[in-house]
Amino acid sequence: MTRYLVTGTAGFIGYHVALKLLARGDEVLGIDNVNDYYDVRLKEARMARLDGKPGYRFLRADVADRGAMERFFATEKPERVIHLAAQAGVRYSIINPYAYNDANLLGFFNILEGCRHHGVQHLTYASSSSVCGANTELPFSTADNVDHPISLYAATKKANELMAHTYSHLFNLPTTGLRFFTVYGPWGRPDMALFLFTKAILEGRPIDVFNHGKMQRDFTYIDDIVEGVVRVSDRIPTPENVPVVPGISSRAPYRVYNIGNNNPVALMDMIGALERQLGKVAEKRLLPMQPGDVPATYADVADLQADVGFKPATPIETGIQRFVAWYREFYNV
């Protein structure tokens, strides 16, 4: 049994990761501030499914609260940390930038300090495919230069990777960042396209299709994400000479991996798969590209496969079928 701190357990990925760890017998200390970025009732429903499970305890707190985090690490002494709490969303970062400074920068700093001062074996944290920013060469590799983010959200996630490397280098703290690629599935976020499209189609409303549908996304099913997160957390990086970008290497116990399906899907094909599952054709409102968005994402996962022996592979048709089944049951539609 390992004692884990998992931040963001009321959230989509954090909830599923906590379930996976508990199922294999680990102890999970969950933290979430349960904010109202999206429907709190969905967060509370996730929390209710975790509540009372053997080995699980929950603290309602904000990772940006320095005092609360200092007290928590000092009293609970987690052995490993999986940090998934963050302010998500590319478009929302344009509307409410302060939320990203608080959650993604200050919050991450508090987690790093807690890990540094309390002997945490390994910090695994959520980065994002958004860090790839203005890159146009596909697939996206962790060896690519990612110094040109095009949204504040992406910039905060790139900052997390830089902060983690600094702590790995200075304090020998093992850290691993995971760049998630368009995660979807049951219990997913209501601000994501699949959720928005499903709700609109079932309600007979048009769906907003940006860049006139000329988009591709490396849609990655939640079970694959969770399997990758747990496997990576179990593999504690050691100080060895590791290339960071061409011409630069690091001896810090630090890694960054892509977690994506390694199979980009055209947005219109995703919509087609959803229409088939719902038995309804969507009315599509074609719109221009949104600020901060990119036309395509595609994950190179060769290093993930080589190091932890895992590669996401759930087909989009299978994932959407499972999502729609959950959505209909949860919302009784």
Catalytic residues: 153
- Dihedral angle of Cα 283, 285, 289, 292, to the nearest 10 degrees: -70
Torsion region of 102: left, alpha or beta (phi above 0 gives left; psi -120 to 50 gives alpha): alpha
Residue recorded with tokens 């996304």: 217
The closest alpha carbon to 160, from 86, 226, 214, 97, belongs to 86
Task: Let me know: does 208 contact 287? Beta carbons within 8 Å.
Answer: yes
Question: What's the token pair of residue 276?
Answer: 């088939």
Instruction: Write a three-state SS string for the chain.
Output: CCEEEEECCCCHHHHHHHHHHHHCCCEEEEEECCCCCCCHHHHHHHHHHHCCCCCEEEEECCCCCHHHHHHHHHHHCCCEEEECCCCCCCCHHHHCHHHHHHHHHHHHHHHHHHHHHCCCCEEEEEEEHHHHCCCCCCCECCCCCCCCCCCHHHHHHHHHHHHHHHHHHHHCCCEEEEEECCEECCCCCCCCHHHHHHHHHHCCCCEEEHHHHCCEECCEEHHHHHHHHHHHHHCCCCCCCEEEECCEEECCCEEEEEECCCCCEEHHHHHHHHHHHHCCCCCEEECCCCCCCCCECCECCHHHHHHHCCCCCCCHHHHHHHHHHHHHHHHCC
Q: How far apart are CA 104 and CA 86, in angstroms?
A: 5
